[in-house]
Structure 1
Amino acid sequence: MYKDRYIFPAIFHYADDGISVEFPDLAGCFSYGSNDIEAVSNAKEALELHLYGLEDDNEIIPNPSNIQHIKHSENETIVLIDVWMISVRDYMKNKAVKKTLTIPKWLNDVAIENKVNFSHLLQLAIKDYLGIHKD
Protein backbone atom coordinates (compact mmCIF):
# COMPACT_ATOMS: atom_id res chain seq x y z
CA MET A 1 0.00 0.00 0.00
CA TYR A 2 1.31 3.40 -0.90
CA LYS A 3 1.41 6.39 1.42
CA ASP A 4 -0.52 9.60 0.88
CA ARG A 5 2.39 11.78 2.03
CA TYR A 6 6.08 11.45 1.27
CA ILE A 7 9.03 13.55 2.40
CA PHE A 8 12.28 12.91 0.56
CA PRO A 9 15.63 14.66 0.89
CA ALA A 10 16.93 16.39 -2.20
CA ILE A 11 20.46 17.57 -2.81
CA PHE A 12 20.56 21.10 -4.23
CA HIS A 13 23.80 21.65 -6.12
CA TYR A 14 24.55 25.36 -6.58
CA ALA A 15 26.43 26.42 -9.72
CA ASP A 16 26.85 29.70 -11.62
CA ASP A 17 24.11 28.75 -14.08
CA GLY A 18 21.50 27.60 -11.52
CA ILE A 19 20.59 24.85 -9.10
CA SER A 20 20.50 21.20 -10.09
CA VAL A 21 18.47 18.91 -7.87
CA GLU A 22 18.82 15.19 -7.31
CA PHE A 23 17.04 12.76 -5.01
CA PRO A 24 19.64 10.31 -3.68
CA ASP A 25 16.99 7.70 -2.84
CA LEU A 26 15.26 7.82 -6.22
CA ALA A 27 17.38 6.91 -9.23
CA GLY A 28 16.49 9.00 -12.24
CA CYS A 29 14.61 11.71 -10.33
CA PHE A 30 16.27 15.04 -11.16
CA SER A 31 15.23 18.64 -11.48
CA TYR A 32 16.64 22.13 -11.95
CA GLY A 33 15.88 25.73 -11.08
CA SER A 34 17.40 29.12 -11.75
CA ASN A 35 16.83 30.18 -8.11
CA ASP A 36 15.81 28.58 -4.79
CA ILE A 37 12.07 29.11 -5.25
CA GLU A 38 12.03 27.66 -8.76
CA ALA A 39 14.30 24.77 -7.68
CA VAL A 40 11.97 23.82 -4.81
CA SER A 41 8.87 24.08 -7.01
CA ASN A 42 10.43 22.02 -9.81
CA ALA A 43 11.79 19.47 -7.32
CA LYS A 44 8.33 19.02 -5.84
CA GLU A 45 6.83 18.44 -9.29
CA ALA A 46 9.61 16.02 -10.25
CA LEU A 47 9.14 14.08 -7.01
CA GLU A 48 5.36 13.92 -7.48
CA LEU A 49 5.64 12.60 -11.02
CA HIS A 50 8.40 10.15 -10.15
CA LEU A 51 6.48 8.70 -7.20
CA TYR A 52 3.28 8.54 -9.24
CA GLY A 53 5.16 6.61 -11.93
CA LEU A 54 6.49 4.17 -9.35
CA GLU A 55 2.99 3.66 -7.94
CA ASP A 56 1.47 3.26 -11.40
CA ASP A 57 4.07 0.60 -12.24
CA ASN A 58 3.51 -1.14 -8.85
CA GLU A 59 7.15 -0.57 -7.92
CA ILE A 60 8.51 -0.38 -4.41
CA ILE A 61 9.04 3.14 -3.09
CA PRO A 62 12.15 3.18 -0.90
CA ASN A 63 12.27 4.75 2.52
CA PRO A 64 13.88 8.18 2.49
CA SER A 65 17.41 8.49 3.83
CA ASN A 66 18.10 10.24 7.08
CA ILE A 67 19.51 13.64 6.10
CA GLN A 68 22.31 13.26 8.64
CA HIS A 69 23.71 10.38 6.59
CA ILE A 70 23.72 12.13 3.21
CA LYS A 71 27.14 13.33 2.12
CA HIS A 72 27.30 16.64 0.28
CA SER A 73 29.90 19.21 -0.70
CA GLU A 74 30.26 22.90 0.17
CA ASN A 75 28.22 24.10 -2.78
CA GLU A 76 25.38 21.70 -1.94
CA THR A 77 22.62 21.66 0.62
CA ILE A 78 19.94 19.17 1.63
CA VAL A 79 16.31 20.23 1.25
CA LEU A 80 13.35 18.13 2.37
CA ILE A 81 10.65 17.99 -0.29
CA ASP A 82 7.13 17.21 0.93
CA VAL A 83 4.43 15.90 -1.42
CA TRP A 84 0.78 14.93 -0.94
CA MET A 85 -0.03 12.16 -3.36
CA ILE A 86 -3.83 12.32 -2.99
CA SER A 87 -4.04 15.45 -5.13
CA VAL A 88 -1.42 14.10 -7.56
CA ARG A 89 -3.34 10.84 -8.05
CA ASP A 90 -6.60 12.74 -8.49
CA TYR A 91 -5.05 15.09 -11.05
CA MET A 92 -3.47 12.26 -13.03
CA LYS A 93 -6.67 10.21 -12.97
CA ASN A 94 -8.77 13.08 -14.27
CA LYS A 95 -6.35 14.77 -16.65
CA ALA A 96 -7.48 15.00 -20.24
CA VAL A 97 -5.80 12.86 -22.85
CA LYS A 98 -5.86 13.62 -26.55
CA LYS A 99 -7.23 10.98 -28.90
CA THR A 100 -7.09 11.04 -32.66
CA LEU A 101 -10.02 9.53 -34.52
CA THR A 102 -11.40 9.35 -38.01
CA ILE A 103 -14.99 9.95 -39.14
CA PRO A 104 -16.46 10.49 -42.60
CA LYS A 105 -16.24 14.07 -43.88
CA TRP A 106 -19.99 14.34 -44.38
CA LEU A 107 -20.60 13.37 -40.74
CA ASN A 108 -18.00 15.88 -39.56
CA ASP A 109 -19.66 18.61 -41.65
CA VAL A 110 -23.13 17.90 -40.24
CA ALA A 111 -21.78 17.71 -36.70
CA ILE A 112 -20.01 21.07 -37.07
CA GLU A 113 -23.19 22.63 -38.50
CA ASN A 114 -25.02 21.41 -35.40
CA LYS A 115 -22.28 22.64 -33.04
CA VAL A 116 -21.51 19.15 -31.72
CA ASN A 117 -18.94 19.04 -28.90
CA PHE A 118 -16.95 16.04 -30.12
CA SER A 119 -15.10 15.46 -26.85
CA HIS A 120 -18.26 15.51 -24.75
CA LEU A 121 -20.16 13.29 -27.18
CA LEU A 122 -17.32 10.75 -27.32
CA GLN A 123 -17.16 10.64 -23.52
CA LEU A 124 -20.93 10.04 -23.31
CA ALA A 125 -20.77 7.34 -25.99
CA ILE A 126 -17.88 5.50 -24.31
CA LYS A 127 -19.57 5.64 -20.89
CA ASP A 128 -22.81 4.34 -22.42
CA TYR A 129 -20.95 1.57 -24.28
CA LEU A 130 -19.19 0.48 -21.06
CA GLY A 131 -22.28 0.85 -18.91
CA ILE A 132 -20.75 3.61 -16.79
CA HIS A 133 -23.43 5.89 -15.42
CA LYS A 134 -21.45 8.51 -13.53
CA ASP A 135 -20.43 12.05 -14.43
Structure 2
Amino acid sequence: MAKYAYPAIFTPEEDGSYSINFPDLKGCYTCGDSLEDGLEMAEDVLALVLYGYETRGEDIPTPSKIKSLKLNNDEFANYVFCDTLEYRKMYNNKAVKKTLSIPEWLNESAMAIGVNFSQVLQEALIEKIK
Protein backbone atom coordinates (compact mmCIF):
# COMPACT_ATOMS: atom_id res chain seq x y z
CA MET A 1 0.00 0.00 0.00
CA ALA A 2 1.52 3.22 -1.10
CA LYS A 3 1.27 6.41 -3.04
CA TYR A 4 1.97 6.17 -6.74
CA ALA A 5 2.46 8.43 -9.75
CA TYR A 6 2.14 7.08 -13.29
CA PRO A 7 2.14 8.85 -16.62
CA ALA A 8 -1.12 8.77 -18.56
CA ILE A 9 -1.80 9.66 -22.16
CA PHE A 10 -4.84 11.88 -22.66
CA THR A 11 -6.50 11.75 -26.09
CA PRO A 12 -9.10 14.44 -26.83
CA GLU A 13 -12.20 13.10 -28.58
CA GLU A 14 -14.36 15.00 -31.08
CA ASP A 15 -17.21 15.43 -28.59
CA GLY A 16 -14.96 17.16 -26.00
CA SER A 17 -14.41 14.07 -23.90
CA TYR A 18 -11.04 12.40 -23.22
CA SER A 19 -9.75 8.86 -23.48
CA ILE A 20 -7.01 8.10 -20.96
CA ASN A 21 -4.48 5.28 -21.14
CA PHE A 22 -1.72 4.22 -18.74
CA PRO A 23 0.87 2.59 -21.02
CA ASP A 24 2.80 0.98 -18.13
CA LEU A 25 -0.23 -0.91 -16.77
CA LYS A 26 -2.06 -3.52 -18.84
CA GLY A 27 -5.80 -2.88 -18.95
CA CYS A 28 -5.53 0.47 -17.20
CA TYR A 29 -7.58 2.95 -19.20
CA THR A 30 -10.64 5.10 -18.76
CA CYS A 31 -12.40 8.15 -20.17
CA GLY A 32 -14.00 11.35 -18.97
CA ASP A 33 -16.65 13.74 -20.23
CA SER A 34 -14.28 16.66 -19.64
CA LEU A 35 -10.65 17.11 -18.67
CA GLU A 36 -11.62 17.51 -15.01
CA ASP A 37 -13.80 14.38 -15.13
CA GLY A 38 -11.03 12.52 -16.97
CA LEU A 39 -8.48 13.37 -14.30
CA GLU A 40 -10.82 12.12 -11.58
CA MET A 41 -11.59 8.93 -13.49
CA ALA A 42 -7.87 8.40 -14.19
CA GLU A 43 -7.02 8.58 -10.49
CA ASP A 44 -9.78 6.11 -9.70
CA VAL A 45 -8.79 3.53 -12.33
CA LEU A 46 -5.11 3.86 -11.39
CA ALA A 47 -5.90 3.15 -7.74
CA LEU A 48 -8.15 0.22 -8.72
CA VAL A 49 -5.54 -1.42 -10.95
CA LEU A 50 -2.67 -0.92 -8.48
CA TYR A 51 -4.86 -2.17 -5.63
CA GLY A 52 -5.36 -5.33 -7.71
CA TYR A 53 -1.59 -5.74 -8.13
CA GLU A 54 -1.10 -5.33 -4.36
CA THR A 55 -3.92 -7.72 -3.47
CA ARG A 56 -2.60 -10.42 -5.80
CA GLY A 57 0.98 -9.89 -4.57
CA GLU A 58 2.18 -9.05 -8.09
CA ASP A 59 5.20 -6.90 -8.84
CA ILE A 60 4.13 -3.36 -9.60
CA PRO A 61 5.65 -2.07 -12.86
CA THR A 62 8.04 0.86 -12.70
CA PRO A 63 6.48 4.02 -14.13
CA SER A 64 7.95 5.30 -17.38
CA LYS A 65 9.44 8.76 -17.66
CA ILE A 66 6.79 11.03 -19.12
CA LYS A 67 9.18 12.27 -21.82
CA SER A 68 9.68 8.72 -23.12
CA LEU A 69 6.02 8.34 -24.14
CA LYS A 70 5.17 8.46 -27.84
CA LEU A 71 2.27 10.83 -28.43
CA ASN A 72 0.12 11.55 -31.47
CA ASN A 73 -0.47 15.14 -32.58
CA ASP A 74 -3.39 16.01 -30.33
CA GLU A 75 -2.44 13.87 -27.32
CA PHE A 76 -0.71 15.01 -24.16
CA ALA A 77 0.79 13.19 -21.19
CA ASN A 78 0.35 13.99 -17.54
CA TYR A 79 1.22 12.27 -14.28
CA VAL A 80 -1.70 10.91 -12.30
CA PHE A 81 -1.34 10.29 -8.57
CA CYS A 82 -3.17 7.84 -6.33
CA ASP A 83 -3.02 6.44 -2.81
CA THR A 84 -4.05 2.79 -2.59
CA LEU A 85 -4.45 2.97 1.19
CA GLU A 86 -7.08 5.70 0.79
CA TYR A 87 -8.68 3.62 -1.97
CA ARG A 88 -8.84 0.62 0.38
CA LYS A 89 -10.47 2.76 3.06
CA MET A 90 -13.19 3.89 0.66
CA TYR A 91 -13.96 0.65 -1.18
CA ASN A 92 -12.76 -2.22 0.98
CA ASN A 93 -14.42 -1.32 4.26
CA LYS A 94 -16.12 -4.64 5.05
CA ALA A 95 -15.95 -5.58 8.73
CA VAL A 96 -13.78 -8.61 9.53
CA LYS A 97 -14.18 -10.51 12.78
CA LYS A 98 -10.97 -11.05 14.79
CA THR A 99 -10.48 -13.20 17.85
CA LEU A 100 -7.88 -12.04 20.33
CA SER A 101 -6.84 -12.56 23.91
CA ILE A 102 -6.23 -9.99 26.63
CA PRO A 103 -5.67 -10.42 30.37
CA GLU A 104 -8.88 -10.88 32.34
CA TRP A 105 -8.15 -7.90 34.61
CA LEU A 106 -7.78 -5.64 31.54
CA ASN A 107 -11.05 -6.92 30.07
CA GLU A 108 -12.93 -6.31 33.35
CA SER A 109 -11.49 -2.82 33.80
CA ALA A 110 -12.29 -1.82 30.22
CA MET A 111 -15.81 -3.22 30.37
CA ALA A 112 -16.44 -1.37 33.66
CA ILE A 113 -15.88 1.98 31.94
CA GLY A 114 -17.72 1.03 28.71
CA VAL A 115 -14.78 0.75 26.33
CA ASN A 116 -15.73 -0.09 22.73
CA PHE A 117 -13.13 -2.77 22.00
CA SER A 118 -13.60 -2.67 18.24
CA GLN A 119 -13.13 1.10 18.11
CA VAL A 120 -10.02 0.99 20.30
CA LEU A 121 -8.46 -1.75 18.17
CA GLN A 122 -9.25 0.12 14.93
CA GLU A 123 -7.75 3.35 16.24
CA ALA A 124 -4.63 1.57 17.50
CA LEU A 125 -4.14 -0.27 14.19
CA ILE A 126 -4.58 2.92 12.16
CA GLU A 127 -2.01 4.66 14.32
CA LYS A 128 0.35 1.69 14.02
CA ILE A 129 0.27 1.54 10.21
CA LYS A 130 0.82 5.27 9.73
**TM more than 0.5:** yes
Q: RMSD between aligned alpha carbons?
A: 1.9
Q: Indicate yes or no: 2:80 matched with 1:81.
A: yes
Confirm or deny: 8 A CA contact 1:15 1:75 kept in the other structure: no
Following TM superposition, by how much is the alpha carbon of 1:74 offset from its aligned partner in structure 2, in angstroms? 1.2
Partner of 1:57: 56
Number of the residue aligned with 2:11: 13
Aligned-partner Cα distance in 1 for 2:87–2:37: 19
Q: Secondary structure at the match of 2:27?
A: coil
- Structure-2 change in CA distance of 1:58 and 1:21 (3 Å): same
Q: How many residues align?
A: 102
Give the Å deviation of 1:90.
2.5
Partners of 1:67 and 1:131 in 2: how far apart?
47
TM-score scaled to structure 1, two decimals? 0.68
How far did 1:134 drift? 2.6
Residue segments in structure 2 that go unaligned for 5+ positions in a row: 101-116, 120-130
Offset, 1:61: 0.6
Equivalent residue letter for 2:43: K
Overall identity of the aligned pairs, in %: 31
Distance 1:92 1:35 in 2: 24
- Corresponding residue SS for 2:73: coil
Q: Deviations over 1:74-126 (max 9, x none)?
A: 110001101122211233331x4xxxxxxxxxxxxxxxxxxxxxxxxxx7xx8
Any unmatched runs of 5+ in structure 1?
97-122
